[in-house]
Structure 1
Amino acid sequence: VIPVVCGFQGVSEAEGNWDHNHGHGPVPHGEITTLGRGGSDTTAAALGGALSRVTTESVVVEIYTDVDGVMTADPRDIEGEDGPYTLDVVTYEEISEMAHLGSKVVHPRAARVAMDFGVPLWVKATMLDSPGTRISGEVKRSQDRPWMMGVARTRDVVWVEFTVDNPEAKARGELEIYRLLGEAGINIYLVTSSETTIGFAVKHDKIAEAREVLSGRVIPVPSSNQDGRVCGVYLVGLDEGSPGFQAQFRALRRVYGEQCVHVMHGRVVHNCGMVSVIAQNTREVSGLMSRMVRCLNEAGVRVLQTADSEFSISSLIHEKDKDTGKRAVQALHREFQRDFDRSHRAS
Structure 2
Amino acid sequence: MKILVQKFGGTSVKDEESRTAAKKHVEHAVSEGYKVIVVVSAIGRKGDPYATDSLLDMVEGYHSFLDPREKDMLLSVGETISTAVFTHLLKKSGLSAVGLTGQDAGVLTSDDYGNAKVKEINTDLINHYFKTNDVVVVAGFQGVSENGHITTIGRGGSDTTAAFLGAAFQAARIDIFTDVSGLMTADPRLVESAHFLDTVSYYEVSNMAHEGAKVIDPRAVEIALQAGIPLRIRSTYQPVDVLGTLVTHVESQIEHYRLVTGIAHVKDLIQFTLHADNQQQEKVFSALASAGISLDFINLFTDSAVFTVKAHHEAAAKEIFTAHQCDFDERLDCSKVAIVGAGITGVPGVMAKIVSALNLEGIPFYQTSDSYTTIWVLIDGKNLKKAVNTLHTVFLH
Further displaced range: 198-207 or 4-13 = 4-13
Amino acid at match of 1:299: E
Partner of 2:330: 268
Amino acid at match of 1:196: D
CA distance in 2, matches of 1:195, 1:68: 48
Counterparts of 1:272-283 in structure 2, within 5 Å, are 272-280=334-342, 282-283=344-345
Larger relative contact order (CA 8 Å, sep ≥ 6): 1
Sort the Cα spacing of 1:144 and 1:283 in 2 relative to 1 into closer, same or farther, 3 A: closer
Residues 1:185 and 2:292 aligned together:
yes
Sort the Cα spacing of 1:205 and 1:31 in 2 relative to 1 into closer, same or farther, 3 A: same
Amino acid at match of 2:102: G
Q: 2:372 aligns with which of 273, 294, 310?
A: 310
Partner of 1:137: 249
Amino acid at match of 1:100: H
Residues 1:19 and 2:19 aligned together:
no
Q: 2:347 aligns with which of 285, 293, 297?
A: 285
5+ long unaligned stretches in structure 2: 1-34, 42-78, 80-100, 117-143
Give the TM-score normalised by structure 2. Answer: 0.63
5+ long unaligned stretches in structure 1: 53-57, 165-169, 218-234, 238-265, 339-347
Identity level (%): 33
Sort the Cα spacing of 1:314 and 1:207 in 2 relative to 1 into closer, same or farther, 3 A: same
Partner of 2:393: 334
Determine if contact 1:282/1:309 at 8 Å carries over to the other structure: no
Q: How big is the alpha-carbon RMSD for the aligned residues of Structure 1 and Structure 2?
A: 2.5
Sort the Cα spacing of 1:196 and 1:282 in 2 relative to 1 into closer, same or farther, 3 A: farther
Give the TM-score normalised by structure 1. Answer: 0.72
Q: 1:6, CA displacement in angstroms?
A: 4.8
What SS does structure 1 have at the residue aligned with 2:183? coil
> Structure 1, residues 91-110: CA drift from partner, whole Å, max 9, x if none?
22221211111110110111
Determine if contact 1:69/1:132 at 8 Å carries over to the other structure: yes
CA distance in 1, matches of 2:230, 2:253: 18
Counterparts of 1:1-80 in structure 2, within 5 Å, are 2=36, 4-6=38-40, 8=79, 10-11=102-103, 13=108, 17-19=112-114, 29-52=147-170, 59-79=172-192
CA distance in 2, matches of 1:75, 1:19: 31
Determine if contact 1:15/1:29 at 8 Å carries over to the other structure: no
CA distance in 1, matches of 2:111, 2:156: 23
Q: 1:281, CA displacement in angstroms?
A: 5.6
CA distance in 2, matches of 1:154, 1:110: 19
Amino acid at match of 2:336: M
Sort the Cα spacing of 1:303 and 1:18 in 2 relative to 1 into closer, same or farther, 3 A: same
> Structure 1, residues 58-94: CA drift from partner, whole Å, max 9, x if none?
6111111121211110010012xxx112112222222
Further displaced range: 10-19 or 134-143 = 10-19
CA distance in 2, matches of 1:142, 1:19: 36
Partner of 2:316: 209
Aligned residues: 273
Counterparts of 1:227-238 in structure 2, within 5 Å, are 235-237=325-327
What SS does structure 2 have at the residue aligned with 1:215? helix
Determine if contact 1:180/1:214 at 8 Å carries over to the other structure: no
Amino acid at match of 1:214: F
Sort the Cα spacing of 1:50 and 1:18 in 2 relative to 1 into closer, same or farther, 3 A: closer
Larger Rg: 1
CA distance in 1, matches of 2:255, 2:216: 26
Q: 1:285, CA displacement in angstroms?
A: 1.4
Amino acid at match of 1:49: A
CA distance in 2, matches of 1:143, 1:3: 32
Sort the Cα spacing of 1:313 and 1:5 in 2 relative to 1 into closer, same or farther, 3 A: closer
Determine if contact 2:257/2:343 at 8 Å carries over to the other structure: no
Counterparts of 1:81-120 in structure 2, within 5 Å, are 83-120=193-230
Counterparts of 1:252-267 in structure 2, within 5 Å, are 266-267=328-329
Q: 1:28, CA displacement in angstroms?
A: 6.7
Sort the Cα spacing of 1:107 and 1:20 in 2 relative to 1 into closer, same or farther, 3 A: closer
CA distance in 2, matches of 1:20, 1:125: 27
